[in-house]
Amino acid sequence: MTDSIQLHLLQPGQRATITRINGAGALRRRFVEMGIVRGETILIERNAPLGDPVEYFIKGYHLALRREEAAQIEVTLLEESHA
């Protein structure tokens, strides 16, 4: 099994599975309301011109998160399939 890394460390085009959500209170509740839950697949779409926020694709919609927020989410990188 591969190790978990923080979501903000991934590069555009990489896909990962959410393994853990850190943080507490309102931030954690906000993540759940946005569909950021354990087991969900998330795709890193692109970075803003100055690097923050980052656009993600999860559950059929685009979501922008600040890097400090994304650092609270741990993921396992999925292997890319080259068809």
- Of residues 23 and 16, the one with the higher pLDDT is 16
Q: Do the Cβ atoms of 62 and 45 come closer than 8 Å? A: yes
- Kindly report the pTM of this predicted structure: 0.84
CATH number of 5-77: 2.30.30.90
- Of residues 77 and 24, the one with the higher pLDDT is 77
Confidence at residue 39, expressed as pLDDT on a 0 to 100 scale: 93
pLDDT at 81 over 90: no
pLDDT at 58 over 90: yes
